[in-house]
Structure 1
Amino acid sequence: MNLNQLELLRLLRETDYNLSKAAEKMHVVQSAVSRQLQLLEAELGSPVFERHGKRLLGLTPLGEHIMREVEQIHQAKKNIQSMADDFRANRNGTLHIATTHTQAKYLLPVPVQKFRRQYPGVKIYMLQSSPDNLIDLLHQHRADIAICTEKLAEDDRLILKPCYRWHHVAVVPQDHPLTGGDVTLQRLAAEPILTYSPGFTGRSAIEKAFHDAELQPDIILAAADSDVIKTYVRLGLGVGIIAETSYEPGKDSDLVALDLSRLIATSVTKIAYLKQLYLPSYCRYFIDALLEQAQLKHLGHCSGQ
């Protein structure tokens, strides 16, 4: 057994068990990959993959157990390289950030700008997806950190850092009936609602608030993007429920934001990374910049209330 064979197992899973793609990633011919796999399974005395003819279908139960160890070995290799780079004070590298549209637009710009001034040699790759996929990106080692509100707390293999607390607002045109009188869940439930797709930006908190009040909201449009929701509110399709940070008074002056903090539970955006991950100094710097910006946004919001 050697490290190349273990890396082959990881690449096969990464390429959906495609031998030719795994061979391409290893810069060898497919026959060499097949031979290495045969040698490994012969040494182990049991198959690692389920097969249909010559085609690999997935991992056997033994393969699943082995793959967990392979992932730890792969992470250890990455950690060793990161430690060596830090020891040499290397200021080059790549920072992979997995996040949602809301965080990418409303939280990250200032920290990214500050980071670029401090580490101009480090490239930034921003991967935008759903919270479920963000967690997968961490485990697939395609992202160093993830930033979002939903799902992260459900994975005990992650270290979580609370970033900032926020609440939802309802956005409506200036002449909308909801701008008069107190806003209640009952009044909201009587309106067509436009809000986030399931799994995005506190959607679970919205659903729980209505469920606890024994109300069924009429959600006629769901999107991952706050700007999309605001666009359709402007077209008169209904009431938008979005994150408070997504309402921009200058750009959204044609809309009124109605505070829902008394009606829908406060949400917490979190930063997450793998427990076994060694964080390079530039990654730690970025996390600190994020937390600093989140605190400034929170203080600014509080002073504006």
Structure 2
Amino acid sequence: MRYVVAVAETGGFTRAAERCHVVQSALSHQVARLEKELGARLFERTSRRVRLTAAGEAFLPAARQALEAAERARAEVAAASGQIRGRLTIGAIPTVAAVDLPAVLRDFRARYPHVRISLRAGASERLVEQVRDGALDAAFLGVPPGFRLQGVRDRELAHGRHVAVVAPDHPLADREEVDLGTLADELFVDFADGSAARAQSDAAFAAAGLRREVAFEVSGVELMARMVRNGLGIALLPGLFAPELHGLRAVPLTNGPVRVERLIWSRLAPSPAAAAFLTLLGMDTDPVTA
């Protein structure tokens, strides 16, 4: 099953064998044996590509669940003997600032060196889905006040206003503060329309009865900062995160949007690794029973 998942995720037997640290002939032989046992082909093989058959599409989710269950069982046995093992998968928005996430993960790795840590960046809405579906153990979000969270547990970590982020030579760079009305005629660099990160700024302008032009939509804060630095527009970003943007000016906003940073995790009993991570952050790991 592990070999099938690797082939499906890498798109080929060669890359799957490299990931699984086995020779390709051994991997191919084991997949063929499994196909014979199941009585169905899992992959269509051509000289150019490998893709899942309908049977393979049906098999893959169950295979992943079985592998996850086996790994969880091993981790639970290790925890019973006093060892924390297994996998910890964390999600985070690119602009998380309430915690020093690299430092937290460093401390966690030092305490639990046998846990394999994965970090995935993404938008808050998608991270909520992944925690709810069990793909992530926990996630750090940045959402507007009142953002509805369903099917997960959560804790507020911080909240604060956005600031206007401008290039050092921008006319507003030396202002002590500005309001949204002052910014309404500027061109903006922002996240994708419909995302929680974008919605905070859109809602603030709408509440003030103002319209603005978002000329550039980006998916990452690094590109956003580079575009602002080159004078292509200005941005609204959380004030807590602004010190990370070297070479740019952060101007306080008197009526800017408010962002709340939240940590979310599953309502079910966490794995030993996830429980250790949440405990490190001071969270209550007891599952919700009602």
TM-score after normalising by structure 2: 0.67
Q: 1:260 to 1:99 in 2, by over 3 A?
A: same
**Residue 8 in 1 paired to residue 3 in 2?**
yes
Contact 1:99 1:126 in 2 (8 A): no
Of 196, 211, 220, the residue aligned with 1:215 is 211
Q: 2:95 aligns to what SS in structure 1?
A: helix
Q: 1:286 to 1:170 in 2, by over 3 A?
A: same
Give the Cα–Cα distance (whole angstroms) in 1 for the partners of residues 48 and 216 of structure 2.
48
Give unpaired runs (5+ residues) of structure 2: 284-290
Give the Cα–Cα distance (whole angstroms) in 2 for the partners of residues 45 and 180 of structure 1.
72
Matched residue type, 2:278: I
Alignment of 1:54-73 (within 5 A): 55-60=49-54, 62-73=55-66
Aligned length: 274
Q: 1:129 to 1:15 in 2, by over 3 A?
A: same
Contact 2:93 2:140 in 1 (8 A): yes
Matched residue type, 2:28: S
Contact 2:71 2:86 in 1 (8 A): no
Give the Cα–Cα distance (whole angstroms) in 1 for the partners of residues 49 and 149 of structure 2.
32
What's 1:283 paired with? 274
Contact 2:205 2:211 in 1 (8 A): yes
TM-score after normalising by structure 1: 0.64
**Residue 35 in 1 paired to residue 29 in 2?**
yes
Q: 1:169: how far off?
A: 1.6
Q: 1:33 to 1:133 in 2, by over 3 A?
A: farther
Q: 1:246: how far off?
A: 1.2
Deviation readout 1:246-288 (Å, 9 max, x if unpaired): 1349x99964311445xx3644434346x778421x5323224
Q: 1:120: how far off?
A: 6.3
Of 159, 177, 193, the residue aligned with 2:188 is 193
**Residue 170 in 1 paired to residue 163 in 2?**
yes
Contact 2:75 2:84 in 1 (8 A): no
Q: 1:161 aligns to what SS in structure 2?
A: strand
Alignment of 1:142-153 (within 5 A): 144-149=137-142
Of 218, 225, 231, the residue aligned with 2:221 is 225
Matched residue type, 1:69: A
Matched residue type, 1:72: Q
Give the Cα–Cα distance (whole angstroms) in 1 for the partners of residues 49 and 117 of structure 2.
34
Matched residue type, 1:84: V
Q: 2:26 aligns to what SS in structure 1?
A: helix
Matched residue type, 2:14: S
What's 1:89 paired with? 82
Q: 1:83: how far off?
A: 0.6
Q: 2:96 aligns to what SS in structure 1?
A: helix
Q: 1:115 to 1:7 in 2, by over 3 A?
A: closer
Give the Cα–Cα distance (whole angstroms) in 1 for the partners of residues 221 and 142 of structure 2.
14
Give the Cα–Cα distance (whole angstroms) in 2 for the partners of residues 287 and 259 of structure 1.
35
Q: 1:76 to 1:259 in 2, by over 3 A?
A: farther
Give the Cα–Cα distance (whole angstroms) in 2 for the partners of residues 286 and 182 of structure 1.
40
Give the Cα–Cα distance (whole angstroms) in 1 for the partners of residues 121 and 216 of structure 2.
22
What's 2:15 paired with? 21
What's 2:39 paired with? 45
Give the Cα–Cα distance (whole angstroms) in 1 for the partners of residues 71 and 211 of structure 2.
50
Deviation readout 1:2-38 (Å, 9 max, x if unpaired): xxxx22211211222x112323444544333333333
Q: 1:23 to 1:277 in 2, by over 3 A?
A: farther
Report sequence identity in percent: 22
Contact 1:138 1:146 in 2 (8 A): yes
What's 2:288 paired with? none
Deviation readout 1:110-168 (Å, 9 max, x if unpaired): 64466467x264677563533389789989x9965433337xx9998x74524435354
Q: 1:67 to 1:286 in 2, by over 3 A?
A: same
